[in-house]
Amino acid sequence: PPLAGRPRVPVWLFRQAGRHLPEYAEYKARVGKNFLELLRDPEDVAEVTLQPLRRYSVDAAILFSDILVIPEALGLRVEMPGGRGIQVPQPLQTPSDIATLSAEAWANARTFVERRLCHVLAAVRAILRRMKEDGFGDRPLIGFSAAPWTLLFYMVGGSSTKNCAEGERWLDEHPEASTQLLGLL
């Protein structure tokens, strides 16, 4: 195991540890995909997840993903315009907008995840397979997610710069709808 006999402090290298690497930029240019397009392809996710393991002596792989895959799976459009961060360009405006979210998510969360987030599940399987093939089978794979609160703020605010004020407004003006959406998330 990576920590056996060596006192080391685990270090979290940003949530997508590989995005600063030259091999990430090279790979992205070679496949001709942007960040969001990479997230939709399990083999791309596996490749980018493994890049930091190949370069550094790290103790774990960190799943290459983003918290907004969940709102996207629910039916909201997600974009990443250059230099402005990831955004939801048409956030929920009123409580009635909640009804536009995937009916499947309300009916059966497991089926929803298996159908609408199948690319994430496939990516995890691909990463674990490739970690074993590449000699990293003794390392854990760390996934991450946002709290429902954070997702709600993006879904009603649209971006990290606007979501706090809009999220607070929603909580104040639409407490029942906020509770309903938080329950779904």
The residues annotated as belonging to the active site are 15, 19, 30, 66, 154
**How many whole angstroms separate alpha carbon 166 and alpha carbon 39?**
27
Element (H, E) at 62: strand 61-62
Element at 42 (helix H, strand E): helix 42-55
For residue 93, CA distances in Å to 45, 59, 112, 120, 127 come to 32, 43, 24, 28, 37
Which residues face 61 on adjacent strands?
Answer: 141
